């Protein structure tokens, strides 16, 4: 519930308390001793709390109706609201280039990792980047980045089993990203599993790409699609709520965009 809704709920509770406490009474204490001594009559004022007072006051119902309409308006606006919540997160991804480690994990790389006792979660297969211009069609930038990453990996779009999109929660950005992915994957896009992060943690902005790579690598290692909270507004991209579940994941695509039309994509292979 939003702060405005809480404020209106507090006003409603205060209104009820105000009308309950309205009836007052006075109690006077009389005694022969005080009368003969010429002392003033002792008087006590008290509040008489009554549950019936709000019900019998027409003004109470009128004010209650106004508050209820305001609360309904706030709740309706919150229900229809779209957008995202910025999140604070810093991500450091360390790539070991020693012992022959490269972006593509061949047999030698795996042997070097095994000697060091490293646990291989995924292998970097291909990377692509592109710049979208204002005059470009929606989705052009992300589509070019994804196509470049697939070409760098020597893979076809049909080999991707998991997509980790940016999915910032901004309607315009999400529509652009969905258009780019649909341009690459076509009708198959609605059949590809996705891992959406923003509904869980908010938009981590510059940290979104690094976090997405961590999630994709873990999903490939565990052969599990992470649970999703309900999302929407990304066209054919699967964003409905689902529980975590096992799946055969050969490769994952991580794509992200940034201010100024920057787009990047990374393809990871299962270990």
pLDDT in tens, 174-191: 888 889 999 999 988 888
Same domain membership, residue 167 and residue 45:
no
pLDDT at residue number 150: 94
Residue 52 has pLDDT above 50, yes or no: yes
What is the average per-residue pLDDT within 83-112? Answer: 58
Q: What is the mean pLDDT of the chain?
A: 76
Would 100 be classed as within a structural domain?
A: no
pLDDT at 144 over 70: yes
Domain co-membership, 169 together with 70:
no
Contact yes or no for 189/222 (Cβ under 8 A)? no
Q: Is the pLDDT of residue 104 over 50?
A: no
Tokens of 232: 């929407």
Q: Of residues 269 and 31, which shows the higher confidence score?
A: 269
Q: What's phi and psi for 11, nearest 5 deg?
A: -65, -40
Is the pLDDT score of 10 beyond 50?
yes
Comparing 24-28, 110-114, 161-165, which segment has the lowest mean pLDDT?
A: 24-28
pLDDT confidence tier of residue 167, bands split at 50, 70 and 90: confident
Which domain covers residue 236, as residue numbers?
Answer: 107-269
Same domain, 33 and 121: no
Residue 95: inside a domain, yes or no? Answer: no
The C-alpha atoms of residue 195 and residue 188 are separated, in whole angstroms, by 16
* Same-domain pairing of 8 and 45: yes
Task: Output the pLDDT for position 254.
Answer: 93
Based on the domain organization, do 138 and 206 belong to the same domain?
Answer: yes
User: Does the pLDDT value for residue 77 go beyond 70?
Assistant: no
Q: 123 with 208, same domain?
A: yes
Number of domains the chain contains = 2
Q: What pTM was computed for the model?
A: 0.64
Residue 7 belongs to a domain: yes
240-245 contacts, C-beta under 8 A, 24 or more apart: none
């Amino acid at each position: 519930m939003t702060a405005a809704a809480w404020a209106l709920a507090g006003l409603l509770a205060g209104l009820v308390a105000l009308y309950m406490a309205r009836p007052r009474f006075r109690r006077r204490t009389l005694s022969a001793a005080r009368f003969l001594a010429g002392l003033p009559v002792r008087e006590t004022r008290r509040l008489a709390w009554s549950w019936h007072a709000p019900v019998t006051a027409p003004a109470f119902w009128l004010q209650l109706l106004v508050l209820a309409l305001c609360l309904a308006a706030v709740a309706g606006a919150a229900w229809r609201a779209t957008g995202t919540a910025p999140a604070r997160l810093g991500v450091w991804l360390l790539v070991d280039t020693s012992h022959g480690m490269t972006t593509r994990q061949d047999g030698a790389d795996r042997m070097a990792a095994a000697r060091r006792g490293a646990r291989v979660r995924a292998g970097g297969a291909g990377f692509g980047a592109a710049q979208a211009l204002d005059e470009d069609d929606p989705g052009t930038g992300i589509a070019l980045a994804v196509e470049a990453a697939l070409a760098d990996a020597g893979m076809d779009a049909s080999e991707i089993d998991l997509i980790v999109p940016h999915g910032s929660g901004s309607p315009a950005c999400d529509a652009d990203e969905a258009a780019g992915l649909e341009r690459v994957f076509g009708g198959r896009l609605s059949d590809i599993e996705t891992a959406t992060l923003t509904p869980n943690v908010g938009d981590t902005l510059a940290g979104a790409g690094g976090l997405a790579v961590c999630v994709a690598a873990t999903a490939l290692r565990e052969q599990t699609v992470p649970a999703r909270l309900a999302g929407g507004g990304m066209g054919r991209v699967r964003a409905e709520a689902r529980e975590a579940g096992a799946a055969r994941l050969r490769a994952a695509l991580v794509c992200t965009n940034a201010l100024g039309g920057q787009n990047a994509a990374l393809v990871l292979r299962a270990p």
